[in-house]
Every structure is written in C-alpha cells, then in structure tokens.
Amino acid sequence: MPPRPAVLTKRTLDKDLDKITHAEDVAKHVLRRLVAPGLGLIFVGLAMLFAGVYVFDRPGAMLVVAAAALAGYMAMNIGANDVTNNVGAAVGARAMTMGQALVIAAIFEVLGATVAGGEVVKTISANIVDAVQVSPVLLGWIMMAALMAAALWINLATWMNAPVSTTHAIVGAVIGAGISAVGPEPVNWQVMLEITSSWITSPLIGGLIAAGLLYLVKTLIIYRDDKVAAAQRWVPVLVAVMAGGFMAYMVLQLSPPGRFPPLTVLFIGIGIGLVSWLAARPLVLAQARALENRNSSLRTLFRLPLIGSAALLSFAHGANDVSNAVGPLSAIVHSVGIGGGGIGHPPLWVMLIGAFGISVGLLLFGPRLIRLVGEEITKLNPMRAYCVALSTAFTVIVASWLGVPVSTTHIAVGSVFGVGFFREWYTRHSKRRIAYIRRKAESFDIDEPEEPNIHETRRRYLVRRSHFMTIVAAWIVTVPVSAALAAMIYWVMFALFV
C-alpha cells in the first residue's frame, strides 16, 4: 500500500512561517550588534586611504598608513570613553536627549580639534620621550607601539564601563615603549611625576568644588521660600561665571604659553562674564514669568546653561585631547620626513583623522558610558549637573594656570562623585533641609517627591559604591598597564619588522 502524501494544512504553514520570522528576528538582532564595529572598521579603512593619498609616493609610506589606522582606532576609543564626561551630566539630568547630546558633542569636538587642536600635540609627540636623543626611525616604532597599547587599554576600559584618562593611557604607553626601546634616559620623568600627582589632586579638587557649588545652589536657591525669585537673581550670575571661566580656559589652552599674563586672562574672563550676565538676565526673567514656585521650575531655568556648558566642554576637549590620538601619528609622520613646521605642528590631514575619529567613536560607542556617568553613579538633575560642568571647567582652568597636567575625565567623574557624596552628607546633617521639608509637610505641599521621608534618606546611599571602586581601580592601573602593554607590543614589532 503506497504511503499517504503529506497534506500541507494552514496550521502547518503558519508554524513554518513563524519559524522563518523568528530566524529573521534573531539574524537582525545579531547583525545589529555588528553594525557599530563594522562602521568603525570602515572609518579605519578610510583613515588609511586618506593618509595614503598624501604619502603614497614618499619613503616610509606604509608605516604612516599603518599609523593612521591606529590613530583612527585610538581616536574612536577617545570618543567612546572620554567625550562622555562632557555630556553625561546633561543627559543624566534630562536637559537633553541622548541623540541631541551625541550630535552637539560630535560637532563641537570636530570644531575644537580642527580649529584649536594643533598647539597641544607637541607634549605627546616630543616632550615625553626626547626626540633629539632618539633616532627618527626608532621614534616612529615607539609611537606605533604606544598608539596600539593605549587604544587597546581604552577599548578594554570602555567595555568594563570604566571612564579612564586617555591622556594617562597614551603617556604611559609612550613611556613604556620608550623605555623598552632605548632605556629610561630619554624619558622626561618630571612630566611623569606631575601627571602622577594629578591622579589624586584633580578628582579631589573637582569633587570639592562641585560640592561647594551645590551647597551654594541649595542655600541660595533650592531651599528658599520663593525659589523662582532667588533663581532670577542667581542663575544669570552662574551663567556669567560659566562664560567667563570658559573664556579664560580657552585663552589659556589655545594661546602659546606665556603670551597672555595671568592678570590679562583674569580681566578677559571678567569682561566676558559681565557681558554674559547682561545678556542672560532678561532671558531668565522672561523665562521665569510663567513658572510656579517648584523645583521643576528650577530645572527649566538651568536647562539652557547646562546645554551650553556641555557644548563648550566638548569644544575644549576636542582642542586638548585630540593630541592623544594624533600626537604619536604626528611624530611618525615627521620621523619619515613628511610634513613641515616642526614635530609639534601636525599637517591638517592628521588633525582631521583625529577630529572625525573622536566623533565617530562617540556616535557609535558613546551612549553606554554616557548613561554610566550621567545616570548610574548618582542621581543628577540640571542643578547638580551644572555644578559638575562648572567644577570641571574651574579645576581645569586653575590647573592650566599653574601649569599642572590634569585629566578632564578624572575631574568630571570626580565632580560627579563629589556631588553624590555631598548629597549624602547634606541629607544627614543639613538642619536647613530638614526644617524645609518639615515645613512643606506641615503645609501639605512637599516639593521633593524623590525624598519624601527624612528617616529613609538618612539610611540611603546616594552614590553607587561598586562604580566608585571600579573607576578608581581603573584610574590607578591605567599608566602601568598601558606602559607594560606598550613595551610588549614594541618588542613584538621590533622582532617582526625591524
């Protein structure tokens, strides 16, 4: 008896179609995770092609093209890890969306790097390892190993959700590769000592300034009976302080050392601050007219200043930290006899690789650490986030004034921790806050729904200790790990290619 033919029923067909749909969904999910690495790989290829156009007929062209790929990779890691500190607080405070933050930071990072980034490349490319004591060919291989080591360490730190200093990573890598190549003599140990001291001082100073600013905001605005009127008086002052401080910072960072005496920089900052106060006062008064006497109204008044501070921080970061990617590339370009103007003056195409690489890394890989800095360490609102931004600016300005090398990452994250730990202390010890909440409770008009119970907040930690320990540990090991990794990479490169 012949077998009965299979009958394709509607139910069987639906099951088969469901299986196909499920397989397509799984494939899309897997492919979506590969989009960002794929686009990053495309950018690295474009960086190599871009460099090849300029050096294809020159001796040492292959070394420069390979270095351009590593510089592009390093720049993307800087964008993924370091730029998050500029906009993380604003995103965490919900002053801007993730998309807005990514676009604003990307634009201002490119502007800062291309317009004002050339003057800060010399330290990385020539001052850490004395270029006079090292042959050009050897210097090129030292910088290749340093680029690869620093980029790999920053990539690993980003994967571990640890915002680290890209400056410390590249400095440690250059030192490690330099020692493995020529010994410790050409290393500038004074620079290394200053950078090591900044590990401790810069985040502490940033945290203390942020805590002090938040204390002033709470005392002068938040816990006043008529907080909108208090904000009308003090928000323009804070805007003026921010604008004047950023202008002083830009003058210090973008002008040649010693061009402007400290008193001149101070007067420039005061002048810009006064103009900003005159411009901000009518805008704040107009914005405050329709607002109720609530904390949510204060968040509205602090939103635009916070966005402005994020944009200015991104510009300053692009001008300063692009050197971490293009400094070694600049040294390699000059080591093979390409480019002019001295080792500290990179060609424009070198700056463009660094500038666009930072923005590409931010757009592709930045959101994860932006959420960590802005949302997961401690709870931020526009007032607290503004204190973080202002503290970061002031600490960098003072350090630049004193000539102390610091990390924007350490200062910004230290400021976030400072705000969180100050909130813990203030919650437990502030008589003004406790009296304010009790007064509101008695009038059935509690204005802090996130902290309705005084006794509960006394027992609550407002900073996540796990993130604190992870980040501090990553800070401590950045220079030694990147140095050891660079030394190993140099030995491998020397054995294979030299």
The answer, as to whether pTM is greater than 0.85, is no
Q: What is the pLDDT of residue 381?
A: 79
Q: Considering only CA atoms, which of 477, 195, 189 is closest in space to residue 324? A: 195
- Distance between start and end Cα atoms, the chain: 79
Q: What average pLDDT does the segment 392-417 reach?
A: 73
Residue-level pLDDT at 488? 92
Q: Could you report the per-residue pLDDT of 360-404, keeping only the tens digit for each?
A: 888 888 777 776 666 666 677 788 888 888 888 777 767 666 655
**Which amino acid is residue 153, in one-letter code?**
W
| Cα(312)–Cα(245) distance, integer angstroms | 11
What is the C-alpha radius of gyration for the chain, rounded to an integer number of angstroms? Answer: 26
- CA pseudo-torsion sign 243, 247, 248, 249: positive
Question: Does 459 have pLDDT greater than 90?
Answer: no
Percent with pLDDT over 70 in the chain: 72
Using alpha carbons, select from 146, 145, 163 the residue that is nearest to residue 77: 163
**CA 351, CA 322: separation in Å to the nearest integer?**
8
State the pLDDT at residue 50: 85
Q: Tokens representing 112?
A: 């800062």
Over residues 34-55, mean pLDDT = 84
Q: Does position 9 have pLDDT exceeding 50, yes or no?
A: yes
Residue 480 has pLDDT above 60, yes or no: yes
pLDDT of residue 274: 93
Long-range contacts of 52-56 (CB under 8 A, 24+ apart): 54/338, 54/347, 54/349, 55/333, 55/336, 55/338
CB of 409 within 8 A of CB of 82? Answer: yes
Q: How far is CA 52 from the centre of its chain?
A: 30
CA quadruple 332, 149, 171, 318: dihedral, nearest 10: 80
Instruction: Please tell me the distance from the alpha carbon of residue 239 to that of residue 75, in angstroms, as a whole number.
Output: 32
**CB count, 10 Å around CB of 454?**
14
Predicted pLDDT of residue 126: 52
Higher pLDDT residue, 165 or 369? 165
